[in-house]
A and B are shown apart, each in its own frame.
Chain A
Amino acid sequence: MKAIGLALASCALAVLLAVSVGSGGFGVPDDGWLREQRGLRALAALLTGMGLSLGGVWAQALFRNELVEPFLLGLSGGAAAGAVLSLWLFPGSSPAVGAALGALGAALAVRGLAWQSDASLLLTGVAVGSMTGSLAGLVLTLSAQAQLLRPATHWLWGGFVDPDPQLLAAAAASVLLGLLATWFARDHLDRLLLGDDLARALGTPVGALRSFGFLLISLLTAVCVLCGGIVGFIGLLAPHLARRLVSGSHATMPIVAGLLGGGLLVCSDALARSVFAPREVPTGLLTSLCGAPLFLLALRRRPV
């Protein structure tokens, strides 16, 4: 409980920081509209960070690998490519289904192609991510639709400019679903870490859990990509930090990971829009700049 309180407090501090930081300096703005915009943006980053962290927790349990997350597995790229394709082919409709199918397709491709070793898993994830990113780029190049450029750039680079309240509601519902599902599946996720055979012998319905897990990760990734674009490494770092704070068991770790991931992304976004103000750096770019060296450090400690 202490760890949850600590994570909650760090989250609240991050949101306060995000509302207070801007191109005009530090301090809560008097302008109500500005406060609201910064608050909405912080909420979008918070929910995206929470969703990606929960996606990371599930991916790490399903693959029994501490080094995987939706971005490194190519799921974020798949969701972005799905959303771009969907907008290109069906311009008037919502890209949500396309994003979810893109993430699910990437998840199934990685699962099908790389079940043998940790190294092949990560390499396949990189290949799938690269392929889906190129696919989205190709669609952008070939498409003559100007209205595709803005959302596609947003999805591919990552950022929280002008958050859509409807999307925020969908993200909140997805994160809540993710938290509840993780809570109810906590013992099964722990058993999965012993391997499929032992999990089965301990009464876990492994096949059903895996199918549900892949659907949940795909949904969370799709919503996160639509909300904040491709944001890497949050889903990797937050569970790592949470495991150090509490333990690897899925009883309290996922909620701590979610809160830490949310807080981290809120801080990253506040930095992204204020460090080079009046210019804004895409948030996804900043998380990759900071996250990649930390990932390499983790890789050094635990070679694949």
Chain B
Amino acid sequence: MSALLACRELAVGHATHTVLSGVSFELACGQVLALAGRNGSGKTTLLRALAGLTAPRAGTIEWLGKQRLPDGLQRARSIGLVLQHEPAPWLRVREVLRLGGAQAERVAEVLEAHRLTALADRRVNELSGGERQRVALARADAARPALYLLDEPTNHLDMIERREFAAWLERVRSQAGVVLISHSRSVLRLAERVLWTAGGRLSDQPPDPELML
């Protein structure tokens, strides 16, 4: 079976400098891969490249065996992206869930699955941080993407919502692959593989033995 995501000798960074280099890994359907490391060590920069938002400085990325992400709504069906600091729009929750091309039936299903039915007609910019985070996860979920890229998906979530996130992750991994960034040990333990960013490289070993899971 071909990988959902394959990186080979990838180097990512900003306009003037490389943050991470020599990044190579593959992700198959059903796998959860976690990226961990100190703040500023390049996790989000790598995730943005994996989402096709920035071009890598070197190396290649393949999504479902292709070096280019599809255009239009097909892109939303390929990648479900949740970012760390998302703007809160003045749209209703129901309207946000439709943005990836989901039909009304699927929207109702996702609202139910993420316990958002009661908030469906509220404006997102009127919701609390935890509610907004659940909307972001539901939005990524609505298009049934093959690959989820989640930057700190449990931010602002309370203990019950974190447990619900773990259950949701268990459900979606049966039909998708997931790359997530987290600083939480309990979230990192949900992943089959944790890759640590340190010193401009990606490694299976944490940079500090104290960080062992």
Give me the interface of A with B, judged by CB distance under 8 Å.
Answer: 64, 66, 187, 190-191, 193-195, 197-198, 200-203, 205, 243, 247-249
How far does the alpha carbon of A194 sit from the alpha carbon of B76 in the complex, in Å? Answer: 14
How far does the alpha carbon of A292 sit from the alpha carbon of B82 in the complex, in Å? Answer: 38
A198 contacts B95, C-beta separation under 8 Å: no
B81, B83, B99: most-surrounded residue (chain A CB, <10 A): B99
Partner of A248, one of B71, B73, B81, B123: B123
B75, B90, B96: most-surrounded residue (chain A CB, <10 A): B90
Partner of B95, one of A200, A201, A203, A248: A248
B76 contacts A202, C-beta separation under 8 Å: yes
Q: Which residues of B contact A195 (CB under 8 A)?
A: 83, 86-87
Answer whether residue B52 sits at the interface, using C-beta atoms and an 8 A cutoff. yes
B75 contacts A203, C-beta separation under 8 Å: yes
Partner of B92, one of A201, A203, A248: A248
Contact mask for chain B residues 42-71; partner A; CB cutoff 8 A; 1 contact, 0 none: 000000100111000000000000000001
How far does the alpha carbon of A200 sit from the alpha carbon of B51 in the complex, in Å? Answer: 10
Answer whether residue B91 sits at the interface, using C-beta atoms and an 8 A cutoff. yes
What 6 A-B pairs are tightest by C-beta distance, nearest first? Answer: A193-B89, A248-B90, A203-B75, A201-B81, A203-B72, A249-B95
Total A-B contacts with CB atoms under 8 angstroms apart: 63
Give me the interface of B with A, judged by CB distance under 8 Å.
Answer: 48, 51-53, 71-76, 79, 81, 83, 86-87, 89-92, 95-96, 99-100, 123
Q: Which residues of A contact B87 (CB under 8 A)?
A: 64, 193-195
B48, B52, B91, B123: most-surrounded residue (chain A CB, <10 A): B91
How far does the alpha carbon of A201 sit from the alpha carbon of B151 in the complex, in Å? Answer: 14
Chain A residues touching B, majority SS? loop
How far does the alpha carbon of A197 sit from the alpha carbon of B90 in the complex, in Å? Answer: 17
How far does the alpha carbon of A195 sit from the alpha carbon of B91 in the complex, in Å? Answer: 13
Give chain A nearest CB distance to B47 CB in angstroms. Answer: 11
Q: Known: A201-B76, A201-B81, A203-B75. Contact between A194 and B99, CB under 8 A?
A: yes
Q: Which residues of A contact B86 (CB under 8 A)?
A: 194-195, 198
How far does the alpha carbon of A273 sit from the alpha carbon of B21 in the complex, in Å? Answer: 69
Q: Known: A198-B81, A201-B52, A203-B74. Contact between A247 and B95, CB under 8 A?
A: yes
How far does the alpha carbon of A282 sit from the alpha carbon of B48 in the complex, in Å? Answer: 52
How far does the alpha carbon of A203 sit from the alpha carbon of B72 in the complex, in Å? Answer: 4
A201 contacts B89, C-beta separation under 8 Å: no
B91 contacts A248, C-beta separation under 8 Å: yes
Give chain A nearest CB distance to B7 CB in angstroms. Answer: 18
A-B CB contact pairs (8 Å), 18 listed:
A64-B89, A66-B90, A193-B87, A193-B90, A194-B86, A195-B86, A195-B87, A197-B51, A197-B81, A200-B52, A201-B76, A202-B73, A202-B76, A203-B71, A247-B92, A248-B95, A249-B92, A249-B95
Q: Knowing that A195-B87, A197-B48, A197-B81 touch, tell me 4 more A-B residue pairs with CB under 8 angstroms.
A: A193-B91, A200-B53, A248-B89, A248-B95
Q: Which residues of A contact B71 (CB under 8 A)?
A: 203, 205
How far does the alpha carbon of A66 sit from the alpha carbon of B92 in the complex, in Å? Answer: 15
Shortest Cβ distance from A191 into B: residue: B99
Q: Known: A187-B99, A203-B71, A203-B75. Contact between A198 and B83, CB under 8 A?
A: yes
Shortest Cβ distance from B90 into A: residue: A248
Shortest Cβ distance from B70 into A: residue: A203
Give chain B nearest CB distance to A96 CB in angstroms. Answer: 34
Q: Which residues of A contact B81 (CB under 8 A)?
A: 197-198, 201
B90 contacts A201, C-beta separation under 8 Å: no
Q: Which residues of B contact A200 (CB under 8 A)?
A: 52-53
How far does the alpha carbon of A195 sit from the alpha carbon of B14 in the complex, in Å? Answer: 19
Q: Which residues of B contact A193 (CB under 8 A)?
A: 87, 89-91
Q: Which residues of B contact A191 (CB under 8 A)?
A: 99
Give chain A nearest CB distance to B134 CB in angstroms. Answer: 15
Give chain B nearest CB distance to A100 CB in angstroms. Answer: 29
Give chain A nearest CB distance to B181 CB in angstroms. Answer: 15
How far does the alpha carbon of A243 sit from the alpha carbon of B74 in the complex, in Å? Answer: 30
Q: Which residues of A contact B83 (CB under 8 A)?
A: 195, 197-198
A66, A190, A202, A243: most-surrounded residue (chain B CB, <10 A): A202
Q: Which residues of A contact B75 (CB under 8 A)?
A: 201-203
Q: Which residues of B contact A203 (CB under 8 A)?
A: 71-76
How far does the alpha carbon of A203 sit from the alpha carbon of B71 in the complex, in Å? Answer: 6
A249 contacts B91, C-beta separation under 8 Å: yes
A243 contacts B90, C-beta separation under 8 Å: yes
Q: Which residues of A contact B72 (CB under 8 A)?
A: 203
A66, A190, A194, A197: most-surrounded residue (chain B CB, <10 A): A194
